[in-house]
Amino acid sequence: MMGSNVGYFFTKTCIIAIPYDLLVLLDEIGFNHQNKFNNHAQMRYESAISGGPKHELVEDGNVLMQKYEFGKILGQGNFAKVYHGRDLKSNENIAIKVIDKEKVLKVGLIDQTKREISVMGMVKHPNIIQLYEVMATKTKIYFAMEYAKGGELFDKVAKGRLKEDVARKYFQQLICAVDFCHTRGVYHRDLKPENLLLDEYGNLKVTDFGLSAHTDCTRLDGLLHTTCGTPAYVAPEVISRRGYDGAKADIWSCGVILFVLLTSQLPFNDPNIMQMYKKISKAEYKCPHSFPPEVRRLLKRILDPNPITRISMKKIMENSWFKKGLDTKQMNDSDLKPHFEPKKPDFTKFNAFDIISLSTGFDLSGLFVGSDQKDEAKFTSTKPASDVISKLEQIAAGLKMEVCMKKGGLLKIKKPSESRNGPLLIDVEIFEITSSFHLVELKKSSGDALEYQKLFKQDIKPALQELVWAWHGE
Amino acid sequence: MGCVCSSGVKHTPGYEDPALLAKETPFTVSEVEALYELFKKLSSSIINDGRIHKEEFQLALFRNRNRRNLFADRIFDLFDQKRNGVIEFGEFVRSLGVFHPNTPVEDKITFAFRLYDLRRTGFIEKEELTEMVIALLHESDLVLSEDVIEVIVDKTFNDADIKGDGKIDKDEWKQFVANNPSLIKNMTLPYLK
């Protein structure tokens, strides 16, 4: 039993999907000037390490871009090799990942955004491997990254299960790292043992954030288990290829990892891949008797096959077992780069279609009523959402109206009214277009239309003016 | 001007029987008749020829006949089923039917897909989505850098383009709307009920 698990841990066959966009971008910005590099020197280098890749950027034996020195190979997969390296300027240890573009392209790429790369390049979190630089040639991509001296976390687990406190510490660090990225719109989508490393002090370092994506391995040759390692960590909705929420999929993988840390066994395991899928889709797993009940409960909430009811990051972080002994310093962003604001309130994030659906061109109500008789109004604002809310509260107070906050940036403003149509209720919704632009929508949800229009025109609209960048449809 | 209509016999050129239109759409016969009154008003606001021209459409939506808007253009084009540059009465009623609160969501999803498929390729492509985002921002006096727009579009494609082939097909669109039902809120006009 144990043997087969260990086999998974050591299967180094991860595929790294690089977004086609990025490849194009890299080509566009001219990283492929091969003439700059000395191919003879490169040949020499290759003969020095057997089976080494063709480093077109390598010159003077083993130096990349005149900045990074190559060392011994640390690991290799079908598409990538990772080398130990040294930053010649700072003399720091680094890791250099070399990816064969052509092989990656052949597999068919998952369209991952350039943004994720660029975000990951800037992100600094104690539990995330930092990406220093991306370089590319026509055939290869090079990532210069933080070097994790402690190796893979799963080398440790393979020797036997971890003590509860130790497992929790790694789980806490994993959750903090993953949550940090989620709040920035970056999802890992491929959390698995190969991607969890340790630094020299034994701190967890998640790698390949924003680089990896779930690769559709079955398309390659139908032999998922041989080409892509194991689906053991993948959420059921990802396997069934439904459109999925990256955050919820990552949470599932974190649950599998927690189970493995505590038992050194996979929760879903079967030599038959179809049986494994079956177990995953039904979340069929057995906790050992030694598991404390609170761990069982937490795992049950994480390994929920329904992504919608599956526990959220926020709730995991509120869980009492999770919080035990948590170093709160890790939870806040204080030691991070200042250009990342603290976690934003939970406003509805707009996707591109949300944005275009706002167009007044879609609003056919003009065919039926005049523009001053509409029951709703929208404006954009460059002010922070908190300013919008406090302004609305101020206006409501002046009009003797009540404000209640609802989740997701929805406010309800209520005016008790004697009119026969009942109390006047106005819904205000705040949407985030970008961090510096919000869209605010006011809408009468019940009450007398005339009363609303009068109130809006005479009191609300003028008072809001200082927040307004532009009124929509005017 | 209006006195001619009072005879009640003369109909606009593309007139169709309200009873038949009511069968095809979520509207009742009397609602279709009411829509006919509205149609007569709209189609005579600039050129009194019983057909709605683009400028008349713009005038009704924006109180400004010269105000161009990419999305209003798209709506007009889809309303204009015969593609002869004007909206006739039958086209008007059938197309408005999509916006009726009782119309099945699938119809609204399909209509929105056709709206967003600017070049009628059967796919929503990245360039089309970018073009539409830019149009909307322009309409709202918002200026965002190209990078930011790209980020927004890429992020959306990441979520919507399940197959990862760089374009959104009908099935992907259906799935995406199922996950984000608010996207077709603008396909329903409460005034129609």
Residues B20 and B94 in one domain: yes
pLDDT band at residue B7 under the 50/70/90 scheme:
very low
On whether residue B134 sits in a domain, the answer given is: yes
CATH class of A39-52+62-147: alpha beta
CA distance A126 to A333: 10
What is the predicted pLDDT for the residue at A242?
Answer: 59
Identify from B133, B149, B155, B177 which residue to disrupt to test chain A contact, counting A C-beta atoms within 10 A and taking the largest count. Answer: B155
CA distance A118 to B171: 30
Beta strands in A32-92 (DSSP E): 58-59, 63-64, 68-76, 80-87
Residues B91 and B111 in one domain: no
Judged by CB atoms closer than 8 Å, whether chains meet at A359 and B166 is answered as no
Residues B89 and B28 in one domain: yes
Last residue of a domain, one of B74, B100, B126: B100
Residues B130 and B169 in one domain: yes
Least confident of A185-199, B124-138, B157-171: A185-199
Residues B121 and B177 in one domain: yes
Least confident of A45-59, A147-161, A421-435: A45-59
Window 121-160 of B, Cβ < 8 Å to A: 129, 132-133, 135-137, 139-142, 144, 148, 150-160
Mean pLDDT of all residues in chain B? 88
Judged by CB atoms closer than 8 Å, whether chains meet at B148 and A470 is answered as no
C-beta contacts of A238-242 below 8 A and 24+ residues apart: A238/A189, A238/A214, A239/A277, A239/A280, A239/A281, A240/A281, A241/A216, A241/B162, A242/B175
Chain A residues close to B183, C-beta within 8 Å:
353-354, 357
pLDDT band at residue A108 under the 50/70/90 scheme:
very low
Residues B90 and B109 in one domain: no
Site of tokens 């250099």: A96
Detail the residues of A annotated as belonging to a binding site. 97
Quote the tokens at residue B1. Answer: 């001007």
C-beta contacts of B30-39 below 8 A and 24+ residues apart: B31/B192, B32/B93, B35/B92, B35/B93, B35/B96, B36/B89, B38/A367, B38/A368, B39/B12, B39/B89, B39/B92, B39/B93
- Measured in angstroms, the CA of B84 and the nearest CA of chain A are apart by 21
pLDDT digits (tens, 9 = 90+) for B141-164: 777 778 888 888 998 998 899 998
Task: Give the number of domains in chain B.
Answer: 2
What is the predicted pLDDT for the residue at B103?
Answer: 93
Q: Tell me yes or no: is domain A148-213+233-328 CATH 1.25.40.10.
A: no
On whether residue B178 sits in a domain, the answer given is: yes
Q: Closest chain B residue to A244 measured between Cα atoms? A: B159
Backbone angles phi, psi at B59, to 5 degrees: -60, -40
| Chain A CB within 8 Å of residue B34 CB | no
- Measured in angstroms, the CA of A266 and the nearest CA of chain B are apart by 28
On whether residue B2 sits in a domain, the answer given is: no
CA atoms within 13 A on the CB side of A372: 7
Which whole-number Å values give the CA distances from A382 to A4, A408, A431, B130, in the listed order? 56, 19, 12, 22
Chain A residues close to B151, C-beta within 8 Å:
113, 115
Compare A258 and A30 and report the one with higher pLDDT: A258
On whether residue B44 sits in a domain, the answer given is: yes
Q: Within 10 Å of residue A291's Cβ, how many Cβ atoms?
A: 16
- Measured in angstroms, the CA of B1 and the nearest CA of chain A are apart by 21
Quote the tokens at residue A265. Answer: 């066994």
| Chain B CB within 8 Å of residue A138 CB | no
What is the predicted pLDDT for the residue at A139?
Answer: 73
Which whole-number Å values give the CA distances from A277 to A9, A230, A233, A238, A246, in the listed order? 18, 11, 11, 11, 19
Least confident of A56-70, A90-104, A429-443, A458-472: A56-70
Q: Tell me yes or no: is domain A352-362+372-472 CATH 3.30.30.10.
A: no
Q: Closest chain A residue to B43 measured between Cα atoms? A: A367
pLDDT band at residue A420 under the 50/70/90 scheme:
low
Chain B residues close to A217, C-beta within 8 Å:
none
Mean pLDDT of all residues in chain A? 71
What is the predicted pLDDT for the residue at A78?
Answer: 59
Residues B126 and B179 in one domain: yes
Of A100, A190, A250, A304, catalytic:
A190
Compare A13 and A145 and report the one with higher pLDDT: A145
| Chain B CB within 8 Å of residue A352 CB | yes
At residue A410, the 3 state secondary structure works out as strand
Q: Within 10 Å of residue B188's Cβ, how many Cβ atoms?
A: 17
Across the A/B interface, how many CB contacts are shorter than 8 Å? 149
Nearest 5°: the CA angle A92, A81, A51 is 115
Residues B109 and B167 in one domain: yes
Residues B171 and B132 in one domain: yes
What is the predicted pLDDT for the residue at B118?
Answer: 94
pLDDT band at residue A123 under the 50/70/90 scheme:
low
Query: Could you tell me the pTM of the whole model?
Result: 0.47
Facing B129 at nearest CB: one of A352, A368, A369: A352
Compare A320 and A40 and report the one with higher pLDDT: A320
What is the predicted pLDDT for the residue at A240?
Answer: 66
Compare A266 and A22 and report the one with higher pLDDT: A266
Residues B46 and B110 in one domain: no
Domain that holds residue B127: 104-187
pLDDT band at residue A253 under the 50/70/90 scheme:
very high
Facing B144 at nearest CB: one of A353, A358, A434: A434
Last residue of a domain, one of B84, B100, B116: B100
In which element (H, E) is residue B29 found? helix B29-43
Window 40-69 of B, Cβ < 8 Å to A: 42, 60-63, 69
| Chain A CB within 8 Å of residue B75 CB | yes
What is the predicted pLDDT for the residue at A56?
Answer: 47
Identify from A212, A244, A359, A375 which residue to disrupt to test chain B contact, counting B C-beta atoms within 10 A and taking the largest count. Answer: A359
On whether residue B9 sits in a domain, the answer given is: no
On whether residue B26 sits in a domain, the answer given is: yes
CA distance B134 to A342: 29
Q: What is the CATH number of the domain that holds B112?
A: 1.10.238.10
Residues B19 and B86 in one domain: yes
The proportion of chain A whose per-residue pLDDT surpasses 90, expressed as a percent, equals 16
Q: What residue spans define the domains of chain A?
A: 39-52+62-147, 148-213+233-328, 352-362+372-472
DSSP state of B135: H
Judged by CB atoms closer than 8 Å, whether chains meet at B172 and A360 is answered as no
Residues B38 and B22 in one domain: yes
Least confident of A100-104, A137-141, B53-57: A100-104
pLDDT at A277 over 60: yes
Facing B175 at nearest CB: one of A108, A113, A243: A243
| Residue A190 bears catalytic tag | yes
Of the candidates A215, A21, A208, A213, the one whose C-alpha atom is nearest the C-alpha of residue A114 is: A21
On whether residue B59 sits in a domain, the answer given is: yes
| Chain B CB within 8 Å of residue A382 CB | no
Detail the residues of A annotated as belonging to a binding site for ATP. 97
On whether residue B61 sits in a domain, the answer given is: yes
